[in-house]
Structure 1
Amino acid sequence: MPRAVYLLGLAIFAQGTSELMLAGLLPELATDLHVSIPAAGLLISAFAVGMLVGAPILAVGTLRWSRRAAMLAFLTIFALTHVAGALTSSYGVLLATRVAGAFVYAGFWAVASVTAIELAGPQARAKAMSILAGGLTVATIIGLPAGTLLGQHLGWRAAFWAVAALSVLAIAGVVTTIPRGRSESVPQLRQELRNMANPQLWIAYGTTALSTGAILVIFSYLAPLLTETTGLSEAWVPVILALYGVGSLIGITISGRTADRRPFRTLVVSLAGVVAAAVILALATSTPWIAVPAIVLVGTFGFATNPAVNSRVFSVAGSAPTLAAAFNISAFNVGITVGPWLGGLALDAGAGYPTVGWIGAALALLAAATIPLALRTAARNRPTVGQVEYESASSITGR
C-alpha cells in the first residue's frame, strides 16, 4: 500500500478527532454554554449536516482542481473554523463553525477517498478505505479520549485549539506526500452525473446511512449514559471511549481484509453484531460489567460495516467515482444526523438513556433489510467480466 494512503489516514485522524470529541464533552459544553445536553448534542448533528451538504458540492466544485490543492484548501479552512470556535462564547457561533468546518472536512473526505482508491488499485479498494477510515478509528482511540481529558481539565476550548494544531500537521503531511498537478484521468461531470442514476448506488447509500445511524445514536450519548445511568464517574468516560475505539479499529481492520472478496457476508455478520450488542446494552445499561463490553462491541461490529459499503460504492461507480464517493460521505452523515436526532427526541420525551440502545438495534435491522434488495438489484444488472460485484445469496448462507 502506498505511503501516501497512510498519511491521508493521518489527516483524517486530525479532522476526525474534532468530529468525535464532542461525544465526550457534552456535559461541559452544556454547562458552559447554558444549554441542555440534547441541545449540545445538536452540535454533533450540525457537524453531520455540514458534511452532508459539503461532500457533493465540493466534489463538483473542485472536480478540475488538483487533488493536492483541494485538500490543502480544505484543511486550512478547517483549522481556521476551530480557532474561531475556541474563541467564541456563543452557542450560535459555535454551531456555525461546526457546520463550516464539517463542510470542508466532507470535501477532504471525498477527494482523499478517490485519491486513496486510485493509489491502491481496484483489487484493494476496501483495504485502502479501511486505512483511510482507520484514521477516524484511531481518532476514537486517541483523539476522542485525549479531547475529553483536555475538556475536563482545561476546558472544552483547549480541545478545539488542539484540533487546530493537528490540522496544521495534516497540512504538512499532504504537502510532503501528495504530488502537484492533476490526476492523469480528469473527471467528467456529465459522466459523474449519469452514473448517479444507478439504483445500486442508492441502495448502498441506504445501507450506509442506516448502519451509521445505528452506532451514532448510541455513541453520541455515551458520556451521559455512562455517568447518569451506568453510574460510573467522569474519570471512566475517556477510558471507555478509548476501549470503544480499540474495538472499532479491530472491526475495521478485519473487515478491510474481507470486504473486497465478501462484502455481503461482512455486512450480514457486522449488522447482526450491532443488533445483538445494542439490545444487550439497552437491557443492561445500569450494569457496568455488561454495559461496557456491549459498548465496545457496538464499535467493533459497527465500524466493520465501513469497508464493505465503501467497496460496494466504488465498484458500482466504475470509472466515475468522485461524485459517487461524495454522496456516500453524505449518506454516512445522514446517519450521523438522524441517529443523534432520534436519540435526542427520545430523551426530550422523557425516555431514559437505555432507549438509545433500542433505537440503534432498530436502525441496524433496517440496514440489514437493504441487503436482499441489493442482491436482487445486482442480479438484474449483472456486471461485465472483471467488474467487482457483491456475493451471491448462496455465498452468504454458505451453501
Structure 2
Amino acid sequence: MILTQCAVCATELGLTLGKKCGRCSTRYCGPECQVQHWKEGGHDQICKKIKKAGGAEQYNADKKCAEAVAVAVEACAEDTKGQTCYICTQALHWKTKEGLVRMCACRGTAGFAHVSCLAEQAKILCDEAEERNLFGTERGNSRWDRWNKCSLCEQKYHGVVVCALGWACWKTYVARNVGRPQADMIRCLAMGVLGIGLYSVGHSEDALSVQEAQYPMMKRLGAPEQELLTVQCNLASTYLALGRDEDCLRVRRDVYSGRLKLLGDEHLGTLSAAHNYTSALHLLKRYEEAKAFTRKVIPVARRVLGESHEITLKMRWCYAEVLHKANGATLDDNREAAATLEEVARTARRVLGGAHPFVGMIERALPFSRALLRSSETSRGA
C-alpha cells in the first residue's frame, strides 16, 4: 500500500498529516506511536535498512513489487513453461531471477516477458516522452499505456500481471532520490497505474485509498480535465467493487457527460465512459435506461472503433444482457440477445484470446441466453 497510515495504529494520515522518522521517513500519527514502534515494534532493527533502500515508501514499494511479481509468475507458470522473454531472450531475468508472465492476447510463443523487462521498456518510452514534453498528447499517452498494455498484441494485461506492473510502476517513480518532488505529475500517474493494479486483484480498499489520494493531488497540480476524468472513472469502478453502487453510477454519469463535452461523442475516451455508464445502469437493474442508451452509442462505437474493439464488444454484451432482462422482453428481443452474444463470443475469443476474463464471462452467459431463448420459443409456440 502507498504509505498513508500510521505504521503502528493505522490511523489514516492522507499524504501530509502526522510525522515521519527522521532517518527513514516511516510515517506515524504522533510521537507516542513513533516511540512505541522503536521500542516494541522492531523499527530500531530495520530503520537503517529502510533508509539504505531509499526510505520507507521506496522500501515498501520494492517489497510489494517483489511479492506481486512472484504471485504473477506463479499464476503464469504453466503457460510460460519452456519459453523465453521476448525482450531480453532469457528464461530467468538476469538480475532478479524472476520467471515469465503473459496474460494478454498473444498466442503461441509470442508475448512472454519478465515484469522487470516490461517495466524497463515502459520507463524508457515514458522518459523519452517526458523529455520531449509529449504527456497530454496522444503520442505521450500511448507511451504511458505501456505500463498496462502489451506492445505486441496491443491488448491490456489482466489479473495479477496488472497488479505486478502497477507495483513496478509505483516502484519506478516513488523514490525522492530520483529527483522528483513529492507532488509530481508523473508520480500521480504512477499512483493511477497502481490503483488499477490493486483493483484488478480485488484489493479494492487499498485501491480506494490510492485513488482518493491521487485525485486531490492531481487537481492541486493543475492536471488537464481529461486526466481528472480518468481518475474519477477508476474511482467509480472501485466504488462499484465496494458495493457503493449509487456513488459509482453518479461518478460514471459525470465522467461520460464531461468527456462528451470535452472530446465529442466519437472519441475513444467518451465511448469508454459510455460503456462504463451502461454497465452501471445494468448492474443497478435500470434495464430500460441501459437499453435506450446502448442503442444510441453502439452504432457510434461500431463505426468509429470497429466490430473487434474491446469496447464495442463489451457494449454489445451489455446490450444483449439488458435485452434479456428488461421487463416485457419479447421473443424477438431474446433472439436478438442470443444472436448478439454468440457473435460477440466468437469475436472476443479471436481478438482477446480464450484466457481473457471477458471471454470467460461471455461464454458463461451463453448457456443462460440459449435457455432463455428456448423457453421463450416454447412458451409462445414458435
State TM-score, norm by structure 1: 0.25
Of the two structures, which has the highest relative contact order with CA contacts closer than 8 Å and spacing of 6 or more? 1
Q: Look at both structures and tell me which one has the larger radius of gyration over its CA atoms.
A: 2
